[in-house]
Structure 1
């Protein structure tokens, strides 16, 4: 797809970037209400708001904290210097929790419940919201473990929602995805229903691309549990074979705008708080430079050490959330887990090539790198390390990197401080204050989530 700039700066000027009180996600009696009657707000207004919020939220603290833990970036000043040594308070996670519940999932739930159904039940807005909800709630669960979901959006009826087990959240998310893809597949047989168009700032209303994303997210969730579910690798491959991404044009990413109120999150962070993070001092940076990886100068300003304006430091840049390279590396891992090294090798090399294209590397430079690094070993253990290392290189600043590192141990990282690297986020302070009976306060930064046991 061609990236679409977000012209409606009011979307970014709204309160979702001001740091909601996390308690409002569960304590505010008006969570599903608004003085202007939000239940009547059209899905065409809710969809772009939720999409922008996803790009901003998952491209901000989720990305920065996860990327520090995975040693793709380094905190070097003020609170980020402390974060880099794993010194956090529960309050440091209030903002990202609040945004994902109040600005993303609340709106998605409204779309799921209130979107009008077309002939035969075809419901594109509700189905798209289910796909985005599955992405959001599983990412939240991947970073915290057990979290509120089934009772999280009931307003006055449930001010202190229970914490659902992560495995139950995964089951619910897979159902959301399966239902959404099945519903969207009705489109050809049931014309005439109002569908998203320009209000869909991700895919421009392309229903097929939403179906592709739903299947790739199914595969992502299957591969997360493949370490202990022997059926998961084949399920991941089957989901993609049913119709996954076919190129980087299908990438799920949120584009931002050149106006000051609609800039991309890393651009906002670096222009407002420059010097807090170092991008040329990390395991990721050192390794790419040692390998003469041509992606490095596309992502990092080699003269100054900051982010390159070609990508994340572009005010009108995009935040990639689920991509074609990720899909190819999921396939490579799935084939590896099934003992099919020849097919794993094909997907592995294709994943590297797709990553080069995503970041705009010249064909000749990509070919040189692939000639040196694109052959998968026929030794199984070595091959797995290659697959996950190249995925780690490719998915720079993506929240999925922290998840991949925890579940596979690749690459082999040394703690910056102490003897352990964090395995999860702390439950936020305001959740501890307002929903204490349901929060497991014994869990810390080094506690493992369900699939990480």
Structure 2
């Protein structure tokens, strides 16, 4: 962050010293010097997926979406002196932050309230994602011109700012005055094509995530969570999915073969167990869940295997090279361009928020409120939505197979036997490949396999820690990722010291939202 402001400050001094004519002479007439909101908007969507996808290579190991002993993520560790796992930080402060501020300022002056609302929605989402990933972050001083060091703000302040921004965005999207129109925004809005109502739903989805993470707090309100969800996404048609061109490495999905970022990664035993029948029914039945053929891949002998955290082999000794990577290839093979499967294809869009996630949030809140009938309905809605979402990404799943799964022993059929474990594990499965930060938030708020203060322990017996944690952890699981090295550990160490950010085990310090009070 300091480098950004040094450059900004140098440019300001040049302008103040009478260099305007020189700068005018070197102005490129083909490049706007005062870009409008329409020009600034399209690249921002790519920034949203970039941060999560880059960092998923590490947090994906922590939450066991990715395996293969590829990096320290699987042992809950960190890499000293590296920007690895710091891309969400970069996205929030560099990829999105200043650009969103420009849109808000520019569009406010032009009374384009839909652009203002869009920028506020993205900013709310970014603050939520960044604090859920890093914990205490820089909020109040983040974009002050001329500042070179920045104080960290507690996570509860960031949570409050997310609520404020999302509500301001909703207000702006519901204004009927001003000059903002669907026509002005539709071509720049790569996800919702300028439809205000869909952005309003997205904001309520952000609010639902925010409120649903607070189960350990005295002010947790499940009724508020449910209200937010009811105003959020109404079906898969409302999913927030960032599109990818997929024709070159430049416009292709980060997960696709053209980018070649996943050849060493492997499918995990936890994902395999959720899909092959063993976790939900106790019996191996890989034909039961219709998502299995699209989401993961069998070995050459037709069986499904996955790695355990920190290990490159399956429990039965199946070697690393025989276990498929996320593309569905063996022996670390990189498929041809355009190949792959599920979300791991060149042209696959990246989901930022889905209807399935919202329904599982509702199911969790309803269950905690004691309304098991509502919880059962939302739980089943979430499962169906997930299957239909997966169906659209591969070979279409026949409705008969969907019905067979929804009425099988893998899915609870009555409210009296539904458990929080059923809800959270189906949510974990539904978010595979995209909901990395949300799944990690769920695992941490239930303290991984320890459970919450009320005795709810949805991941016990299913989630498995690595045999040995990273050397700096002191036997503790990861709770956060450290701020980005290049901006914070090089330039902002005094502020980091105040929050314990220089401690070797800082990444194991509990988040505010996971602490009971």
Q: Which residue of 1 aligns with 2:320?
A: none
Question: Is 1:71 paired with 2:102?
Answer: no
Alignment partners' CA distance in 2, 1:141 and 1:231? 18
Q: Which residue of 1 aligns with 2:237?
A: 249
Paired residue secondary structure (1:277):
coil
Paired residue secondary structure (2:276):
helix
Asked if structure 2 preserves the Cα contact closer than 8 Å seen for 1:237 and 1:331, the reply is: yes
Summarize deviations over 1:400-439 as a string: whole Å, max 9, x none: 1111111123423222123432111023322122011211
Deviates more, 1:288-297 or 1:392-401: 288-297
Deviation at 1:377, TM superposition (A): 6.1
Higher RCO, Cα 8 Å, sep 6+: 1
Please, what TM-score do these two structures have when normalized by structure 2? Answer: 0.75
Q: Which residue of 1 aligns with 2:378?
A: 347
Change (3 A) 1:452 1:27: farther
Q: Which residue of 1 aligns with 2:318?
A: none
Pick from 336, 339, 349 the counterpart of residue 367 of structure 2: 336
Q: Which residue of 1 aligns with 2:281?
A: none
Deviation at 1:184, TM superposition (A): 0.6
Change (3 A) 1:75 1:445: farther
Q: Which residue of 2 aligns with 1:29?
A: 8
Deviation at 1:371, TM superposition (A): 1.2
Alignment partners' CA distance in 1, 2:46 and 2:202? 17
Runs (4+) of structure 1 moved beyond 4 Å?
A: 25-28, 30-39, 189-194, 376-380
Q: Which residue of 1 aligns with 2:459?
A: 411
Pick from 401, 413, 420 the counterpart of residue 384 of structure 1: 420
Matches within 5 A, 1:368-447: 368-372=404-408, 373-375=410-412, 378=415, 383-397=419-433, 398-399=435-436, 400-408=438-446, 409=448, 410-412=458-460, 413-416=463-466, 417-418=468-469, 419-430=475-486, 431-439=488-496, 440=499, 441=501, 442=503, 444-447=506-509
Taking only aligned residues, the RMSD between alpha carbons, in angstroms, comes to 2.6
Please, what TM-score do these two structures have when normalized by structure 1? Answer: 0.85
Q: Which residue of 2 aligns with 1:110?
A: 102
Asked if structure 1 preserves the Cα contact closer than 8 Å seen for 2:212 and 2:222, the reply is: yes
Aligned pair count reads 420
Deviation at 1:31, TM superposition (A): 11
Alignment partners' CA distance in 1, 2:90 and 2:6? 12
Asked if structure 2 preserves the Cα contact closer than 8 Å seen for 1:253 and 1:321, the reply is: yes
Pick from 119, 129, 134 the counterpart of residue 129 of structure 1: 119
Change (3 A) 1:219 1:376: farther
Asked if structure 2 preserves the Cα contact closer than 8 Å seen for 1:24 and 1:102, the reply is: no
Who wins on radius of gyration, i.e. which is larger? 2
Paired residue secondary structure (2:419):
helix
Which one has the bigger helix percentage?
1
Change (3 A) 1:337 1:186: same
